Amino acid sequence: MVFNNKLKFCMATALALSACTGGAAPKSASSDSPPPGKGKGFNHDPFPSTYRAYPGVPTAIVHATVYDGEGGRIDDGTVLIADGKVVGVGGADLAVPAGATVIDGKGKWVTPGIIDVHSHLGDYPSPQVKALSDGNEATAPVTAQVWAEHSVWPQDPGFSRALANGGVTTLQILPGSANLFGGRSVTLKNVYARTVQGMKFPGAPYGLKMACGENPKRVYGAKNREPSTRMGNIAVDRQTWMKAIEYKRKWDKYEEKGGDIPSRDVAMDTLMGVLNGEILVHNHCYRADEMGIVLDMAKEFGYHVTAFHHAVEAYKIADLLKANGSCAVVWADWYGFKMESYDGIPENLAILQRAGACAMIHSDDQNGIQRLNQEVAKALASGRRAGIDISDEQAWTWLAINPARALGVADRTGSLKPGKMGDVVLWNGNPFSVYTRPEKVWVDGAMLYDANNPRLRPVSDFELGQPGEGDVK
Amino acid sequence: MKRLLLTAASLIAAPLSAETIAITGGTVAIGDGSQPIGGGTVVIANGRIVSAGAGVAVPAGARVIDATGKWVSPGIVAGVSTLGLMEGYGMDEVNDTTASKSPFSAAIDVSTAINPTGQRVATERSSGITRAFVIPAAGNTMFGGQGAVIDLGADVDPVTKARAFQYVELGEDGASAGGGSRPAAYVLLKTALAAAANPASADFAHKDALITRQDAEALGPVVRGAMPLLVHVERAADIRAVLALKAQYPAIRLVLVGATEGWMIADQIAAARVPVIAAGLLDLPEKFETMAATQSNVGRLTRAGVTVAVSNADISEGPYESYLTQYAGNLVALTKLPGAQGLDWGQALASITSKPAAAIGMDREIGSLRSGRRADVVIWDGDPLELASAPTAIFIDGIAQPMTSRQTRLRDRYLDPVEKNLPKAYER
């Protein structure tokens, strides 16, 4: 009951605020409240980001091989970082500003920070004890009301490994796949903070995690309730979207014309966000046939699937994905670990790329996230052996601009372009070689990892005072 | 002597090829810890390695394979595997790795169930994996049962050595399977070993008997030292407890599996001459018993003189045997990282070839290109530990293997995903 009272209080506050700023809208017949305006009926950002960039120094990395993350490559290149941003990318002739710290990148590579669009760090942290298992609200097939950020433990040691070994600077934390509607995702900068708000990528749109196939039907089938089959999955999906459309209709009416304030529903808020295009759909879906059904369902209810995750059969429908503008988010070579992954092949990414579909890598794994560059290297090599010619710099889009687009943050990160966040990795060799590791990692222009400086290696609260603390990991 | 006889018997069962093959001009990596040799030659005859290295003569009449510009190595040996026992996770109907409802534990013999035609065998073989240790998981007790060494050849006889080792879970998983706590699991382990050492002292017929006669008999070779005992254990304190078993059973041939915190007591493991099959790259405290996990574990243990093999267990979703070369390459990468301890290239390759073989006492039979070993040979289009490299030819027991799998068939069908005059089901 306490929670309900709190909710009412927040609503009243939000309403009062919007009423103050709503202007002179005409009053409706049934209420004194003026219409608040489209999308302003309630606060859409109640847990706002408090992330702040840490200070950096003007830096010039010179004589390095540069992959810009959008398919461009510069040999003997220069990358300039200042005031938290990338301020210049060019060849050896690009002038280095006076006073900048100069780093010799000869024999090394510079890339944008890696973006993992599918992680459960913080929600399924290390150590994996039940007390910290907060990734699946597996109590009902529709839990669109849960938000992954409310489970993220910012002390997960996994964040540091993803930074130091993987060069990961941005990551999306998703709720798990037990449910058809798993809840909201959150996009984080890979910078430790005391609160999850302190890690939230400022202004990143939310995602909605959905799931096809085996997981929901297994979890709820085992509980002898709907859904227990794939057809049950889609039936519950459609019923839920119908409710969401009704919910949206009420709120649209109220926000445009005023009148009685509709009842809030935290789950429906999220689905309405999807229907309004504010929240991006990230749909766990392995099989080609199931993706085909979901694409039709999206048309039926008027939403867009931003990306299919774990799409091991995406290669079978690369043309269909391209035609619908939906991305495929895949592993390099995982296969056969469950029936719906039985047809996984390592050429998946390359076939998608050749077909012109949007494709990218993901980890879904606290170990895999440390080697996403290596996963892309394997996928690229498999494609080349199959006769698909993709350049190294083009393949880096699978780690950078493509996931940035899928997260709706491509205007701010995901490539080395002037004005973008200073999210940069200096690799000690070719990042598609197994013998290469990140040497330095900057996030928003601040150097937050340096292989040569043990002080620039984060140690989470959990690891402090434990065996192995401060060890090279 | 008994082991020798067993080996001879399995030799007869293996498919033999009389063909003499000389692979010339490639960079030859022996797999015994030595560095690769440029322009080397590998000679195979009667399914065995005759010789490998620089200045090796090509025998008259040999089929010559030019490997100029390529690399030649022993086949990769997967130290912890479920190949042949399960097709995939979440598919219980085709999973023979565990038997929690069986009255038996240590007596379970996985060699009776290896399926050489499963999808994963051909897929992993095409990544250069030629042998695997198939390990049953703990079931109704901490004992998984008797594991097998298998080959990944495209034939009907996958078992290289049946009942090659016994497997037991201790530590956290052992606590769970052994009654609910670590001390409970140790009591059960010691009771089982005592019954194995002296079956006459055990009352198998009693209704509260903790171990069946069949399980005790299966553990007989373990206490006599005729069969290695693979013990999965992670925490340094648990490793110390396992090493202490040797005081009571001096003949026991312990092998540690996992040993994520092994680096903390590397000297003790080395002094006990106990080999380790480690996960390789684990660096997260995913369990409280792996709090001190570090990617430097393998390097530090190796430097201390421990025989360390690298397995793909417990690292990712798969686990895929194909990741072994990647893990070994990463251990080389650590040598360039300040403060870290990795492996040099020769040691890294050995950690996935001869070292796993040595861990279970089979390195005279498999795992390297030294003379007399089974001719498990892979020709690669580049450095086998590099991400872009792949096999161009694979021999198991000297027999050339097919390079296709279900995956290559799917790839060929969908290189162009669009359906044409007939459905995709007609393209093959």
Query: In Å, how far is B114's CA from the nearest CA of chain A?
Result: 17
B31 sits in the region (left: phi over 0; alpha: psi -120 to 50; else beta) called left
Residues B63 and B97 in one domain: no
Residues B21 and B90 in one domain: no
Tell me how far apart the alpha carbons of residues B378 and B41 are, in angstroms, rounded to a whole number.
Answer: 13
Please tell me the total count of domains within chain A.
1
Residues B48 and B97 in one domain: no
Model pLDDT, residue B17: 65
pLDDT at A268 over 70: yes
> What are the tens digits of pLDDT across the range B232-266?
999 999 999 999 999 999 999 999 999 999 999 99
**CB-count exposure of residue A406 (10 Å: 0-12, 13-18, 19+):** buried
Rounded average pLDDT over A267-278: 98
CB contact under 8 A, B318 and A316: no
Which of A158, A364, A472 has the CB atom closest to B294's CB atom? A472
In a domain, B421, yes or no: no
**Which residues make beta-bridge pairs with B395?**
B377, B400
pLDDT at B317 over 80: no
Tell me how far apart the alpha carbons of residues A33 and B270 are, in angstroms, rounded to a whole number.
Answer: 79
Q: Which residues of A touch B322 (CB under 8 A)?
A: 333
Residues B298 and B151 in one domain: yes
CB contact under 8 A, B90 and A338: yes
In a domain, B426, yes or no: no
Rounded average pLDDT over B398-421: 96
pLDDT at B146 over 90: yes
In a domain, A472, yes or no: no
A123 CB near a chain B CB, below 8 Å? no
Q: Which of B284, B300, B352 to mutate to test the interface with A (most CBs of A within 10 A)?
A: B284
The predicted complex's ipTM stands at: 0.94
Domain span holding position A70: 5-464
In a domain, A393, yes or no: yes
Residue B12: CB atoms within 10 A of its CB come to 7
In a domain, B92, yes or no: yes
pLDDT at A18 over 60: no
> What are the tens digits of pLDDT across the range A434-454?
999 999 999 999 999 999 999
> What are the tens digits of pLDDT across the range B22-75?
999 999 999 999 999 999 999 999 999 999 999 999 999 999 999 999 999 999
Question: A260 near A254, Cβ under 8 Å?
Answer: yes
pTM: 0.94
Domain span holding position B48: 4-74+377-405
In a domain, B419, yes or no: no
- What Cα–Cα distance (Å) separates residue B225 from each residue in A466, B3, B251, B252? 37, 11, 5, 5
Residues B198 and B325 in one domain: yes
In a domain, B84, yes or no: yes
CA angle A140, A143, A149 (to 5 degrees): 130
Residues B140 and B255 in one domain: yes
Model pLDDT, residue B4: 41
Model pLDDT, residue B202: 83
Residues B91 and B189 in one domain: yes
Q: What is the CATH number of the domain that holds B54?
A: 2.30.40.10
Tell me how far apart the alpha carbons of residues B220 and B404 are, in angstroms, rounded to a whole number.
Answer: 42
Question: A84 near A412, Cβ under 8 Å?
Answer: no
The residue whose two tokens read 């810890």 is B33
Query: In Å, how far is A373's CA from the nearest CA of chain B?
Result: 10
Task: With residue A392 as reference, give the H or E element that holds it.
Answer: helix A392-395
Q: What is the CATH number of the domain that holds A98?
A: 3.20.20.140
Q: Which residues of B touch A129 (CB under 8 A)?
A: 287-288
Please tell me the total count of domains within chain B.
2
Average per-residue pLDDT for chain A:
93
Three-state DSSP state, A359: strand
Rounded average pLDDT over B192-210: 87
pLDDT at B404 over 70: yes
